[in-house]
Amino acid sequence: MNPGYLDPASVLSVRRERSLTFREIGFDPGRIACGTNAELGCANGLFLRYLVEEGSLRTIGLDLSESLLSAIVLSGVRILHGGLELLDEKSVDNLYLFNVAEHALDIEALFYQASRVLAQEGCVVLELPLSGLVSRFFGQKWRFLMPDEHLAIPSMKGLRILLRKTGFTIRGQTRFGSGWTSGSIYRPIKRLCDFAAKHLGFGDRGCFLLEYRNPVAPRFFGLIQGCVRTKK
């Protein structure tokens, strides 16, 4: 990625990919213009530009790279150097985590921070690589196996456990990616593998629409039920 220039071709590609993904996970694009939108790991602002063009009036971009942030030239966008701890409690309606969770030193803490900054009826769009059938097939050659960058890559089962623990539920999802990168295999075969990975739901990347629910309530009622059973 060139941090100093927003290639128009890349912007169009991002727009197409994000619009398709939003449809597949059931994210209503109308939410963009009606609320505060924040992207963690915004890099040089390709997706932030998409948000502005979709009518976002309150847009926030956060990243740890000062050089990437300095390349963003978007009017009315609030740019912050750092993570979600910089945001106020319940200040975000739509939080976007595109391929950033796997880089977190503490992925569980990341989701707790996400729950803290979400406004009532807010949502999270989460995209990340997933271990599973594809990662087992490729083994040490799996494209997302980068120990120096990817610190936590959950399986689908592990992701569900993590989300349940931190108070999130999945409202929509899509899977994609056969593990073959462009040029690594004959193109028609790659297209066939990518099609199968997407439509059979075993892709090595997933995007999810998440909704936050208070995780305290289930534990509280479980404790009450336990006390009732004990008294009996």
| pLDDT exceeds 60 at position 218 | no
| pLDDT exceeds 80 at position 3 | no
Q: Where is average pLDDT lowest: 68-77, 95-104, 120-129, 130-139? A: 68-77
- C-alpha–C-alpha distance, residues 180 and 55, integer Å: 35
> pLDDT tens, 80-102?
999 999 999 999 999 999 999 99
Domains of the chain: 8-231 (3.40.50.150)
How far is CA 98 from each of CA 67, 68, 128, 148, 160, rounded to the nearest angstrom? 19, 16, 7, 19, 18
State the pLDDT at residue 7. Answer: 61
> pLDDT tens, 62-73?
999 999 999 898
Residue 133 or residue 225, greater confidence: 133
Percent of all residues in the chain with a pLDDT value above 90, rounded to a whole number? 82
How far is CA 219 from each of CA 107, 164, 216, 224, rounded to the nearest angstrom? 22, 12, 5, 9
Q: Which two tokens stand for residue 227?
A: 């006390």
Q: Where is average pLDDT lowest: 3-12, 17-26, 116-125, 177-186? A: 3-12
Instruction: Write the DSSP string, 31-94.
Output: HHHHSEEEEET-TTSHHHHHHHHTT-SEEEEEES-HHHHTT---TTEEEEES-GGGSPTT-EEE
> pLDDT tens, 16-28?
999 999 999 999 9
